[in-house]
A and B are shown apart, each in its own frame.
Chain A
Amino acid sequence: MRRVQQILIAVLTAWAIAAGAGTARAQLGSLLSPGPLARPHASLEGVANCAKCHEQGRRVTAQKCLACHQPIAQRIARKVGVHKDAGGECVLCHAEHAGVNGELRPFDQKAFDHAAVTGFALTGKHVLGAQQCAACHKGRSFVDASPACAACHTDVHKPSLGSNCTTCHSTQAAFTAASTAFDHNTAAFRLNGAHTKVACASCHIGGVFKGVKFASCVNCHKEPHQPSLGSSCTTCHTTDSWRTTNVNHQRTSFPLVGAHTKVACATCHKQSATKVTLKSDTCASCHADVHAGQFKQDCKACHNETAWKGGRFDHATTTFALRAKHAPLTCDACHRPAAASRPERLGTAAPVRAGAAAPPVVDFRGLKTTCVSCHVDVHQGELGTSCETCHSDAAFAVRAYTHKTGGPFFAAQHVALTCEQCHTSLAPARSARTGTAPLAVRFAAAERGCVSCHKDIHLGQFTARCETCHSVETAKFAVTIDHARQTSFALTGKHGAVACRECHKVETGRFPAATGTAVRLKGVGATCVSCHKDVHLGQLVANCESCHTSDTFHLATYAHKSKTVLALMTGAHARASCVDCHKATTGRFPAGTGTAIRFTTGTACVSCHVDQHRGGLGPNCGNCHRP
């Protein structure tokens, strides 16, 4: 067992020595080192170099570090940069022996204030660089970076503009957008109008910023006018836009006058004037021919440049001179868009504007000289085509017309009538063309019968002609009738002075022509009671003429015809008046109950006298008394 122990101890010792010696051969320093040095310090690896950083009993001192890092030492001394506040040992911030990739410079990029520490503020586009240090700090040392633009940026101007880049460039815009920073007003050529929006490279071709010619527009702009209009572009153009409204058209072959002066350029110049020269000799170059080729002559014959409408045209040059009422008419009063049924004759007009519907073609050549070419024949052909017979172009309305025939009919009361009172409209439909109601009346075939104009207010009570009773000679057609001759009831006595209406009453009821209200002229009875009231309430059945006459109703005398009564008419009875015996009595009568003078008086004495004897002497008064 002891032998085994000895062997094991020998093996372990050999392992330890071999391991130690082996590694020592490789690098003794690595055995003692607490870890590999970072890559920048790789040259300090090895036991021989320990003392370059480490100091006996003092660990790692700042003096040792700064002995090598002189630039840092200087910045610490000058109190600038990251180390301006540095104090104490370097190892307090910088750790070593953390491996080849060990971080030597702990750095909080987010918290780092580049402006405060370095004096170079990261603004604008440089802000992104705050997270990409290596974009500017190409080398390992941060202090190598220079604040000069050219230190990082390539001078594409090849020093022609000097070293002060900030004159034109700012960090707020990309390098290629230097125009946002450069005040071109400080240059000899000030930018205004559209020039302010032009990219620098458009004029500064090839990055040439100095010596660029600008005296004339054509130094930068091409001359589009062929032939050239000269070098003074500003006569027409401004710097705001090449498109200009400032062209002096008088210099062109088409001076603008009248309405042309108010037209926008683009209305005629659909394409640039530098590309397309308009033919100004004909109006049709710009204007659409709304007449669809009806006129071969130039538009100026009718139109002028003041306005399309209102052009003067001498209509007398046509077969229809415009006179009187026709003279002030506008053209379109007669010359209207062609009827839809006739487009094949006129064709279609060109649209006035692109995309717009073609306007209707106005028919200037289709009209005839006859009135009906324009006017509606309100007589519907009844009176022929010779309108001039009645109408004139001074006034279409017919003020007066003397009937050629008819004679007395149109005299007296008919003289004052207006035409329309007799010739009334038969067809009140409105004209689709004029919008006015046509005078659709009958003239030639008008009836002369009274009822063709007058209403039969008698509702057919008479079949005879109206003239039998009425005449145009009397006002309002008053009746002139001979009642004795023309009727069966002669108006005698007081009847002659009675108004017609006293007997011919207005009735509502059935009449021969219709049921209605009319004066009852026929069928009025010839008896007295037809008109008069029977005040005797049926006591007297004899004809009224037995007692009364047409001269008066009152009776002066009456001779009783009854022998019984006549026998009593003696003495005082002969002197008594009628009313002494025939008194007004209220009571029952043959025609009904009422008040009337009672005629049917008894012949007994007590019929009139009071029996003073109260019947004591009997009814026969004649025994004692005499009339």
Chain B
Amino acid sequence: MSAVPASRPAPSRLAGLVTSGVAWGFVATALITAWVLLGLGGRAYYGTDLAVRAYAPAHRLLRPSGPAGQSFGLVGTVLMVMPFAYMARKRLSGMKGAGTLKHWLELHLFCGIVGPVLVTFHTAFKFNGIIAAAYWSMVTVMLSGFVGRYLFVRIPRSIRGNELTRAELDARAYDLHDQLALTVDSDRLMQEVEAFEATVVPADSARRSLAGQLTGDILFGRRLHAFVGRLEAEGVPPTVRDDIARVTRERVSLLRARFHLERTKELFQLWHVFHLPLVYLLLVIAAAHIALALYMGYVPFRWS
């Protein structure tokens, strides 16, 4: 059994957050937003009517061609390019030794969140012309990234990020069941856990649907919490309850992923088709935008 690779890290939620690109992305977003709105006077500036905003005190700083505005654009553009490194790591054999795929993915997610935020401040909330198409493409890509991540995490992988085979998946599920049985050490309690699993893991014969998958995923956390509450009412010790919750969470996620695995993989592949072209469109228009700006004389670090 020890040959069965562990699935995606689930045990410690805090540890997961520390290495989560999404979490860091949101933190960075909050900090940047606060800094711009409160520190640089963006709150008043962006709230000023567009017709007279050019004469607001913060205009020279926050305008798209200003010191801050242009810097937002530059850094944002760099961050929007950074996700391609993840693609390179995945596809270029020469980069196989350069860190784990997981870390590259987290970096990808971080840049994919913070980049659009900076670009948004670069626009100064003024969306005109074809560059607006690039902007909204960027927003669409970012949002689709969240969808992609949703699908991604529902394809069980090894610690190294490789997809688990169905056999490996089953083996891991049994492992977890054994682990659970050792933890519970009570037939009655084990029966309760299994009964709970049966309510959140569809039977193999059940109909597979995207709506059912989404609903089940959304409700699972709440149902697990309620189940743990019942265990507490029954007098199950806290350490046992925590172990049951941790193992059950991983096992149920594994079983639910297993149940929807085929559809998830199909959707994930389809997602790539949607995610990538918009990125290309965005990059093309952004390149044109930058080229035009440079052509007109709006070169970096010349803000007068």
Contacts and interface: CB of A to CB of B under 8 A. Distances in A.
A103 interface: yes
Interface string B50-65: 1111110001000010
Contacts of B298: 59
B234 interface: no
Given A23-B130, A103-B52, A4 B270 contact: yes
A103 B53 CA distance: 9
Nearest to B137: A16
A240 interface: no
Nearest to A102: B51
Contacts of B295: 56-57
Interface in B266-299: 266, 269-270, 272-274, 277-278, 281, 292, 295-298
B128 A1 contact: no
A33 B128 contact: yes
A358 B54 CA distance: 89
Interface stretch (A5-13, A203-211, A379-387, A441-449): A5-13
A106 B55 CA distance: 7
B129 A98 contact: no
Interface in B235-281: 266, 269-270, 272-274, 277-278, 281
Contacts of B297: 55-59
Contacts of B55: 95, 103, 106
B299 to A, nearest CB: 8
A99 interface: yes
Contact of A12 (B54, B129, B277): B277
Nearest to A100: B51
Nearest to B270: A4
B126 interface: yes
A33 B128 CA distance: 7
Binding site secondary structure of chain B: helix
Contacts of B4: none
Interface residues of B, number: 28
A54 interface: yes
Interface residues on A, range: 20 to 34
Interface in A45-65: 54-59
Nearest to A16: B281
Interface in B61-86: 64
B200 interface: no
A4 B271 CA distance: 11
Nearest to A34: B128
A371 interface: no
Interface string A142-165: 000000000000000000000000
A102 B49 CA distance: 9
Contacts of B274: 8, 12
Contacts of B272: 5
10 contacts: A5-B272, A8-B270, A8-B273, A12-B281, A30-B128, A32-B292, A34-B64, A56-B296, A59-B298, A99-B50
Q: 7 closest A-B pairs (Cβ-Cβ)?
A: A95-B54, A31-B130, A106-B55, A59-B297, A5-B273, A35-B128, A57-B297
Interface of A: 1, 4-5, 8-9, 12-13, 16, 19-20, 23, 30-36, 54-59, 95, 97-99, 101-103, 106
